[in-house]
A and B are shown apart, each in its own frame.
Chain A
Amino acid sequence: MASSPYFSLAALFVAALGFGLAPLGLVWLWAKIYSPPKPNSIKNAIYECGLESKGDAWVQFRSAYYLYGIIFLIFDVEAVFLLPFAVVFTSLGAVACAAMLVFVLLLIEGLAWAWAKGVLTWS
């Protein structure tokens, strides 16, 4: 068995697993022996801002919120590209400017489409 070419791999795998699990086990053992758990209903409460939770978390959100979020994200990412573009703007050629224009126009087209669809009117 020791002659199997996979033996060293398996031994290494077990060692790696032990390397990860041993500290966890030690911590668990330490807590088990020395640190008695004292749970209570306040400590086990889900909500963590000092107030008592009331009501249900299963409430409905407007789907328009997510559309707003996605549109914001598009222009957030656009800003990331526009900033380095603006920094090196003077040393760029016409091709680079045209490429950037296409990129911006594509995003503006998306905004125009969302606008026309009435996504931006919040009521």
Chain B
Amino acid sequence: MDNRLKIELERQGIVATTLQELYNWGRKNSVWPMQFGLACCAIEMIATTMARYDLARFGAEVFRSSPRQADLLIVSGTVTKKMAPQVVRLYNQMAEPRYVIAMGACAISGGPFKQGYNVLKGIDRYIPVDVYIPGCPPRPEALIEAFIALQKKIAAQPLTGEGRPRHLDADAPGEFPVPAFGEHDLEPPANESVWHAPLTQIQGT
């Protein structure tokens, strides 16, 4: 239907919609995050759910303690190499459709601990991340902004064809390998099907 006609109809008190819109409207307003915090960003995440910021306004009503009941993994804080397999395993145990927000500098890239001996250089090396939030830690407003960005992303997903959500796609991968503890590093150091090093210019090469 023509978008202008739709708006005109809505002005007259008639709501026209499609199955896809209705389906995505339901999905985007009932994203349940997992109750899972890693470091100081988790404190901001907790503040976001409390009365002042109130993430429940956007449909993230309850934080589920079981990955089976959660749709959204908020990686809130530093992912140490010792913790990374647990995070990946939890992500694997979530039911489709599942989404990931990488919250804060550490979850994105390792942040201030990037060159540390026990910090993973970004959780996106092992699992697909939908929304990145910079900040150290990001303010609750930033998390809400990221959450709204994720809702927009869900609302824009078509139900068929290219770009459809993974739970409707038989070919989309369902298992993301959990890294093993190696003698010097996690093995493998990154999941090649998920992460490629971005092309950056380094002076001197």
Direct contact of A and B (CB under 8 A): yes
- For residue A52, which residues in chain B have a CB less than 8 angstroms away from its CB? 89
Q: Does A109 contact B (CB under 8 A)?
A: no
Contact yes or no, B89 A40, CB < 8 A: no
Contact with B along A27-40 (1 / 0, CB 8 A): 00000001110111
Interface residues of B in 132-170 (CB under 8 A from A): 159, 167-170
Alpha-carbon separation in the docked complex, A43 to B85 (Å): 14
Interface extent on A, as a size class?
10 to 19
Q: Please state if A48 and B92 are interface contacts (CB–CB under 8 Å).
A: no
| B67 at the A interface (CB under 8 A) | yes
Chain A min CB distance to B83 (Å): 8
Tell me, in angstroms, the Cα distance from A77 to B192 when the chains sit together: 58
Decide: B170 and A40 in contact? CB cutoff 8 A.
no
Question: What is the number of residues of chain B that contact chain A, defined by CB distance less than 8 Å?
Answer: 21
A35-B167 in contact (CB<8A) = yes
Distance A38 CA – B95 CA, assembled complex (angstroms): 10
Would B68 and A38 count as touching, CB distance under 8 A?
A: no
Closest A residue by C-beta to B164:
A34
Tell me the bound Cα distance from A52 to B96 in angstroms.
Answer: 21
For A50, what are the chain B residues with a Cβ–Cβ distance below 8 Å? 85-87, 89-90
Structural contact, A34 and B168, CB atoms closer than 8 A? yes
CB distance from B128 to the nearest CB of A (A): 15
Given contacts A43-B92, A43-B93, A48-B67, contact A38 B86 (CB under 8 A): no
Sample of 15 A–B contacts (CB below 8 Å): A35-B167, A35-B168, A38-B173, A39-B174, A40-B92, A42-B92, A42-B93, A42-B178, A45-B93, A48-B90, A49-B90, A50-B85, A50-B86, A51-B86, A52-B89
